[in-house]
Amino acid sequence: MRNKRTITFKEDLCDLCGLCFHMCPVLELPLDESKAEIQRLIKGLESKYVLSKCNTCLSCNLYCPQNAKPYQLILERWNDIYKKRGAPPLYYFVCPTENGNIWQLLNLFLSNQERRWIYKWMYYTPKSEDTLFLIGSYTHLLPFIIGGSRLLEYFKPIDRIDQWEGGAYLYQGGYLDVVQRIAERTKLDFDEWGSQNVVVSLDALHYLFNDVHPKEMGVKHDQNFINFHQWLLDNINSGEIHLPNKLELTVTVHDNCYSKANGNVYWENPRRILEKCGCSILEMKHIKQDALCCGFGAGASWVKNISLPFDMISEGVKKFKEAEETGAMALVSYCSGCLYLMWATKELIKSKVDLFHIVEIVRMAMGEKLNYPKDHIKRAWDIIAIITYSLLLSTFKKNFYIKHLSYDESLSTYQPRKHPILKIIRYLFNLKLIRIVYSKLFQMIMPFMKSR
Ligand code: SF4
Ligand code: SF4
């Protein structure tokens, strides 16, 4: 029997004060408009702003003085819309169970070393005595961030793409009924593995497994989920992880949307880790509870399929502008989901600020060598090629509903077909002149193509 979903927006607590969307760093609605909008959402009437402009950043939950959880109300309304119109065709590319998904297409461009790492992570069968490390679908796109590091020697790394990051990115888009099925499916995996301690690479996973699955999806896990940043900080503090190579780097920190789910702990641990690595922090205008999204969240409130990448990148541009204004040498993300899109944005707008994952900073402080920025630049253009190709293909497809949660091992949606057009696009991006022209063109058409 299917577990029952719980709606966590507290209508009885909401006094219609309107502060949620008035303080929202994206919408900044006048108070009267905001009051009217929350009433429309509660009644299920047509939304004027939120459902077509929200970046799914979670901040409104923190602004609500009544703890009514307006963010969860937004997700419920998107779930209602999904039931009526389905997902946009471009979303095939983030569905690991569909042909043409990003993980499948990226196989065409992975290095042999990356393939070896990923193969090991994907096909390891966990044992009950293992401490597992969930690599996650997005770190899978950037395996060089952690592949080959001594940090992995503490765990058994596992990479199951069709765990869909516990449903994290679908949850942010309001695909709540699908997330519930993912929660049930993920529980089957965990129980079969029998491992008690599971270290998770993303705040999103930590929050999903500890809060969303049990409290909203009716799926309780029996495992002990350990946040990787907490694990890192504890092991740096205990001296288990040595950081002999102090970096003299000024950095600014990107707080991901899910970091707001657990406030101070998720925000402060990465900052303490960076300081231990010898970094000094210059903060951006919008941080922590007010942090702007990397851009990915702009896809949640999609209006037109064709506008999706332009909406996402144009939101990411704001982040780079704020990062550059701090004067910091580098922008650091502690979420790999944000990082892959931010690198694509960085290449498209040619931002001069360096961009690292926090694990890369720790590895450099440990004295490990990175192939920075070459690996990132190559991967950014792999991803830009895949998004360009997926957008072209999606113009011939219709909206769809997510049916399959596991990939079919025989017809696998993980093994790519030949995709000659994608290969040509990627080949062209090897030419510097083409990259420059493409970036300029993208910047020129972005204001006309975005939907907001
Ligand atoms: S989730 Fe973020 S962008 Fe959306 S309404 Fe709430 S504060 Fe605004
Ligand atoms: S959800 Fe909270 S902030 Fe928004 S109107 Fe209701 S009480 Fe006010």
Q: How many CB atoms lie within 10 A of CB 389?
A: 20
Query: Do 29 and 119 fall within a single domain?
Result: no
Whole-number pLDDT of residue 448 = 82
Residue 340, pLDDT > 80, answer yes
Whole-number pLDDT of residue 1 = 58
Q: Which atom of ligand 1 lies nearest, measured to the CA of 55?
A: 3
Return the exposure string of 322-359: e unless at least 16 CB atoms fall within 10 Å of the residue's CB, then b.
Answer: bbeebebbbbbbbbbbbbbbbbbbbbbbebebbbbbbb
Residue 55 structural domain: 19-85
Q: Is residue 4 part of a domain?
A: no
Give the ligand with the smallest distance to the CA of 27.
1
Query: Do 129 and 115 fall within a single domain?
Result: yes
Is 68's C-beta closer than 6 angstroms to any atom of ligand 2? Answer: yes
Whole-angstrom Cα distance, residue 412 to residue 97?
Answer: 8
Q: Which of 33, 62, 85 is the last residue of a domain?
A: 85
Q: Is residue 1 part of a domain?
A: no
Is 27's C-beta closer than 6 angstroms to any atom of ligand 1? Answer: yes
Q: How many CB atoms lie within 10 A of CB 288?
A: 18
Q: Say how many domains are in the chain.
A: 2
Tokens read off for 419: 């995709």
Whole-angstrom Cα distance, residue 207 to residue 260?
Answer: 10
Nearest protein Cα to ligand 2, atom 4 = 20
The string of pLDDT tens digits covering residues 240-257 is: 999 999 999 999 999 999
Nearest protein Cα to ligand 1, atom 6 = 60
Tokens read off for 385: 């090629």
Query: Do 221 and 318 fall within a single domain?
Result: yes
Is 293's C-beta closer than 6 angstroms to any atom of ligand 1? Answer: no
Mean pLDDT value across the chain: 94
Q: pLDDT tier at 58 (50, 70, 90 boundaries)? A: very high
Whole-angstrom Cα distance, residue 83 to residue 330?
Answer: 42
Q: Is residue 173 part of a domain?
A: yes
Whole-number pLDDT of residue 413 = 67
Q: Is residue 2 part of a domain?
A: no
Q: Is residue 319 part of a domain?
A: yes
Whole-angstrom Cα distance, residue 452 to residue 385?
Answer: 24
Q: Is residue 418 part of a domain?
A: yes
Q: Name which residue leads in pLDDT, 299 or 362.
A: 362
Query: Do 210 and 320 fall within a single domain?
Result: yes
Query: Do 60 and 162 fall within a single domain?
Result: no
Between the CA of 67 and the centroid of ligand 2 the distance, in Å, is 8
Nearest protein Cα to ligand 2, atom 8 = 17
Give the ligand with the smallest distance to the CA of 452.
1
Whole-number pLDDT of residue 411 = 55
The residue assigned the tokens 């965990």 is 190
Whole-number pLDDT of residue 162 = 85
Give the ligand with the smallest distance to the CA of 57.
1
Q: pLDDT tier at 213 (50, 70, 90 boundaries)? A: very high
Query: Do 28 and 156 fall within a single domain?
Result: no
Residue 45, pLDDT > 90, answer yes
Tokens read off for 211: 């809060």
Query: Do 64 and 172 fall within a single domain?
Result: no
Q: Which of 36, 51, 85 is the last residue of a domain?
A: 85
Average pLDDT over residues 348-370: 97
Q: Which of 68, 85, 102 is the last residue of a domain?
A: 85
Whole-number pLDDT of residue 409 = 63
Query: Do 142 and 285 fall within a single domain?
Result: yes
Q: Is residue 3 part of a domain?
A: no
The string of pLDDT tens digits covering residues 385-443 is: 999 999 999 999 999 999 988 876 655 667 778 899 999 999 999 999 999 999 999 99
Query: Do 392 and 247 fall within a single domain?
Result: yes
Query: Do 43 and 179 fall within a single domain?
Result: no
Query: Do 278 and 217 fall within a single domain?
Result: yes
Between the CA of 365 and the centroid of ligand 2 the distance, in Å, is 44
Whole-number pLDDT of residue 66 = 97
Q: Is residue 9 part of a domain?
A: no
Q: Which atom of ligand 1 lies nearest, measured to the CA of 58?
A: 1
Whole-number pLDDT of residue 262 = 84
Query: Do 78 and 95 fall within a single domain?
Result: no
Residue 335, pLDDT > 90, answer yes
